[in-house]
Structure 1
Amino acid sequence: MDATYIQQSIEQLKTNIFMHVRHRTLIQYTGSPMLDENQLFYLLLPFINGEKWDEQIQKSAITVGIVHASLSEHDKISESNATSKEQQLTVLSGDYYSGRYYEILAHSGNIPLIRQLSEGIVSRCEQQIKLYESSQYTVNEWYQVISVIQTELIKRFYQVYQFEQYSPFMHTGLLLLQLQKELHQHQCGTASNLFVKMQESVAGGEGSIESIIQKEIDSLKNLLNEYLETSEFLKDDLKLYIQHQVALNEKLTRER
C-alpha cells in the first residue's frame, strides 16, 4: 500500500457517490456534488487499514458521502441572491441528494445506521445554525462548531461498525486540516463566514485571530503526531499519508 493506492481508494468512493446522485440538469447548473477528500479519507481509513469491510459497510460509506454532499449544497446558498435560478437549483440539488440517501437507507433496513445518521444530521445542523445566531461564542466554542460539522457523521459511522479506535485520528486530523484551510482562505482574502465569526469573538482581546488559530493548529499537530507515534495498529503508510496531508496544507499557508 502506498499513497497512490490510498488516493485511488478515495477516487473510487467519490465515483460511487457520484453514480448514486448524478442528475444531468443539476450538474449543468450546480456542478458535481462537493465532496471533501479529507473527509472521504477518514471515512475509508478503517478499510485502507485492513478492517473487515463488506458490501453493507461500503454502501453505508457511500450514504455518508451523499449526506455530506447534501449538507454542503445547502451550505452554499447565498442569502443575497437566493432567488436566482442557480440558487434555487442548488436548494433542489441538496434536497435531491437528501432523497437519495433516504432511499438507500430505507432499502438497506439498517436501523442502527439510520438512527445514528439522523442524530448526527441534527447535531451537525444545530452547530451550523450558530453561524446565523446573534449570540456571541468564544473561539474555543467555534472550534467545537468546526469539529462537529467536519466529523459528526463519520463518528456515527464509526460507532455503528465498531471503528471507534480511529476516532482520535479522525477528530484531530479533520479539525486541524479545516483550521489550516480557514487560515489559508483568510490570507487569500476569501475568509469564510465562520472565520469572520471567530474574528469577532476575539475582537479587542489579546492577540490576533491569526496567531490564536495558528497556536491551536500547532497544538493539534503535536497531538496528532503523538497519536501516530504511539499507535500500534495503524499502518506506517497511513501514518505517513496523514502527516503529508497536514504538511501540504501547512505549505499552502506559508507560501501565502
Structure 2
Amino acid sequence: MNATYIQNSIAQLKTEIFMDVRHRTLQKYTGVPVLDENQLFYLLVPFLNGEEWQQEQREAAITVGIVYAALAAHDHIKELDATSKEQQLTVLAGDFYSGRYYEILAMSGNVALIRNLSQGIVSRCEHQIKVYEAEKRTVEQWFSSISTIESGLIAQFFDLYAFDAYVPIIEKSLLILRLEREWLSYQRGQISLMSKALEQSAKQAGATYNSVMQDKIVRLKTELLQFLDQASFLQNDVKQALQARVEASIASTNG
C-alpha cells in the first residue's frame, strides 16, 4: 500500500458519498458537500489495514461520511447572518443530507448502526452546545469535548464493527488536527467560540491559550507515536502511513 492507493481509497469514498447526496440546485449555490479528507482517511484505517470490510461496512462508512457532511453544512452557517439565499440553502443542504442518511439507515435495516450513530450525533451536539453555556470548565474538559466532536461518530462506527483497537488512533489524531486548526486561526485573529472558551479556561488556571495548546499538541503527538510504535495489530505499511502523517504535522507545526 502506498500514498496513491490511500488517496484513491479516500477519493472513492468521497465519490460514493457525493453520489448519495447529489442535488443540482444545492450544488449550484453551496457546492459539493464539505468532507474532511483527514476524517475519511481515519475512517478507512481498518479497511486499509486489512480488516473485514464487506458491503455492510462500506455502506456504513458512506453513511458516517454523509452524517459528517450534514453536520459540517450546519457548522458553516454564519452566526450573525443566515439571510442570504446561499446561507438559507446551506441550511437546507444540511437538512437534505440528514434526510438522506436517515433514509439510507432506514432502508438498510441496520438497527445497531442506527443506534450507534444516533448516540454519536446526540453526544456531538451536546458537546458543541457547551460553548454557549455559562458553566465553567477546565481546559482538559474542553479538550475532551473537542475529541468527541471530531471523532465520536467514527468511534461509534468502530465500536459497532469491533474495530475498538483503532479508537485511540483516531481520537488522538483528529484532536491534534482540530487543535492545530484552532491555534492557527487564533494566531490569525480568527477566534472561534471554542478558542474563546479555551482561552478563558486557561486564564482561570493561570496559563495562556498558546501554552496550553502547544503543550497539549506536543503531548498528544508523543503519545500517538508511542502508541503506533507498540501497535502490533497494524501492518507495517499502515503504521508507516500513520506515523508519516504525525511527522508531517510535527514539521508543519515547527515550521
Question: 8 Å contact 1:184–1:253 — kept in the other structure?
Answer: no
Correspondences of 1:18-57 after superposition (within 5 Å): 18-57=18-57
Correspondences of 1:1-256 after superposition (within 5 Å): 1-203=1-203, 205-255=205-255
What are the superposed Cα offsets for residues 124-156 of structure 1, whole Å, 9 maximum, x if unpaired? Answer: 100011122222222111101110001111111
1:245 to partner: Cα distance: 2.0
Alignment length (residue pairs): 255
What are the superposed Cα offsets for residues 63-110 of structure 1, whole Å, 9 maximum, x if unpaired? Answer: 000001101111111121022211111110000000000110011000
Question: 8 Å contact 1:3–1:237 — kept in the other structure?
Answer: no
Alignment gaps of 5+ in structure 1: none
**Greater CA drift, 196-205 or 213-222:** 196-205
1:201 to partner: Cα distance: 1.7
**Greater CA drift, 225-234 or 131-140:** 131-140
Question: 8 Å contact 2:176–2:221 — kept in the other structure?
Answer: yes
Alpha-carbon distance in 2 for matches of 1:83, 1:134: 28
Alpha-carbon distance in 2 for matches of 1:195, 1:243: 27
1:6 to partner: Cα distance: 1.0
**Greater CA drift, 170-179 or 115-124:** 170-179
- Say which SS state the counterpart of residue 207 (structure 2) adopts: coil
Code of the aligned partner of 2:133: E
1:36 to partner: Cα distance: 1.1
Code of the aligned partner of 1:81: D
Deviating beyond 6 angstroms after TM superposition, the runs of 4 or more aligned structure 1 residues are none
Question: 8 Å contact 1:26–1:93 — kept in the other structure?
Answer: yes
Question: 8 Å contact 2:131–2:194 — kept in the other structure?
Answer: yes
% same residue: 52
**Greater CA drift, 201-210 or 219-228:** 201-210
Q: Say if 1:243 and 1:188 are closer, same or farther in 2 by CA, change over 3 A.
A: farther
- Say which SS state the counterpart of residue 81 (structure 1) adopts: coil
With the length of structure 1 as denominator, give the TM-score of the two structures: 0.95
Alpha-carbon distance in 1 for matches of 2:131, 2:138: 13
Alpha-carbon distance in 1 for matches of 2:30, 2:47: 31
- Say which SS state the counterpart of residue 206 (structure 2) adopts: coil
Question: 8 Å contact 1:66–1:97 — kept in the other structure?
Answer: yes
Question: 8 Å contact 1:180–1:250 — kept in the other structure?
Answer: no
Alpha-carbon distance in 2 for matches of 1:173, 1:106: 31
Code of the aligned partner of 2:203: A
Alpha-carbon distance in 1 for matches of 2:190, 2:31: 21
Code of the aligned partner of 2:236: D
With the length of structure 2 as denominator, give the TM-score of the two structures: 0.95
1:206 to partner: Cα distance: 3.0
Alignment gaps of 5+ in structure 2: none
1:205 to partner: Cα distance: 4.5
